[in-house]
A = this chain, B = another copy of it.
C-alpha cells in the first residue's frame, strides 16, 4: 500500500507547560531561553519525518503555556509544511516565526504549513473533536498497551495527546476525560514525549498496513 493513499488523519497534541509564548528566545539555547521548547521541537521531528519524506497525514499542535501571554497554540501541518529540516533549530526557528506574527484569536499562518493562535487545550479539543468522527487518546504510563488497542479495528481519525517533562495537571486531565479520551501506554518504561510519538506513529503505521 502506498503511503499517500491512506485516507486517514493523525493529530498529535503536546503541552509545553513552561514554553515561551513570545519569540524572545535564542535558537542557541532552546532549553533555557525557550522554557524547554526544545522538547516541542523534537516532537515536531518525531511527528512529521519519514526517511526521505514527510508524513502528509499528520498534524501536530504545540500548546505553549509559558510566559508572557499563555496559552498559545502552534500548528504544523505535515501536508503543507515547508522549510522544515530534522534538526531542532529548524523547527525552533519556525516556532519563533509563528510567534513573531503575534498570534490573535484566529489561526494566522507564518510560513507555509505553520500557524498559531491564542488559546490552549480546551479550545483546541473543542475544535478538533466537534463534528468529525475522531478517537482521542491520552498517553499515560497506567493506560492500556497501545499494541492491544488497534489489533481489530483502526479508527480513521485519531488524536493523541502527550504531556511534556511535567506531565499533565489534574485540570488538564479533567478536560481530557470530559472529552472522552482513552488512556494508552507505549511500553514498560517511562519515556520522553518525542520518543512516545515515534512509537505511536509506528503502531498506527503497522495498523494501517495490516
**Nearest Cβ in chain B — how far from A181, in angstroms?**
20
Number of chain copies forming the complex: 2
* With A28-B28, A198-B195, A199-B199: A190-B51 Cβ-Cβ less than 8 Å: yes
Cβ-defined contact, B189 with A31, below 8 A: no
Q: Which single member of B38, B46, B87, B198 contacts A38 (CB below 8 Å)?
A: B87
Of the candidate stretches A64-72, A94-102, A201-209, the one touching chain B is A201-209
Within 8 Å of chain B (Cβ to Cβ): is A25? no
Within 8 Å of chain B (Cβ to Cβ): is A159? no
Within 8 Å of chain B (Cβ to Cβ): is A188? yes
B-contacting residues, A166-210, CB 8 Å = 186-192, 195, 198-199, 202, 205-206, 208-209
Q: List B contacts of A30 (CB < 8 A).
A: 87, 89
Q: Which single member of B52, B88, B187, B195 contacts A87 (CB below 8 Å)?
A: B88
* With A188-B206, A199-B198, A206-B187: A86-B38 Cβ-Cβ less than 8 Å: yes
Q: List B contacts of A205 (CB < 8 A).
A: 187-189
Tell me the complex Cα distance, A202–B52, Å. Answer: 23
Tell me the complex Cα distance, A151–B208, Å. Answer: 22
Q: List B contacts of A3 (CB < 8 A).
A: 189
Within 8 Å of chain B (Cβ to Cβ): is A152? no
Q: List B contacts of A198 (CB < 8 A).
A: 195, 198-199
Rank and list the top 5 A-B pairs by shortest CB-CB distance, nearest first: A51-B190, A188-B209, A198-B198, A38-B87, A187-B202
Q: A49-B195, A198-B198 are in contact. List 10 more A-B contacts (CB 8 A).
A: A27-B28, A30-B89, A42-B45, A50-B189, A50-B190, A187-B206, A188-B205, A188-B206, A188-B209, A199-B199
Q: Give 25 A-B contacts (CB < 8 Å), ordered by A residue.
A: A27-B28, A28-B28, A30-B89, A31-B85, A31-B86, A31-B87, A38-B87, A42-B45, A46-B195, A49-B192, A50-B189, A50-B190, A50-B191, A50-B192, A51-B191, A52-B190, A86-B192, A88-B88, A186-B202, A187-B202, A187-B206, A188-B205, A188-B209, A189-B205, A199-B199
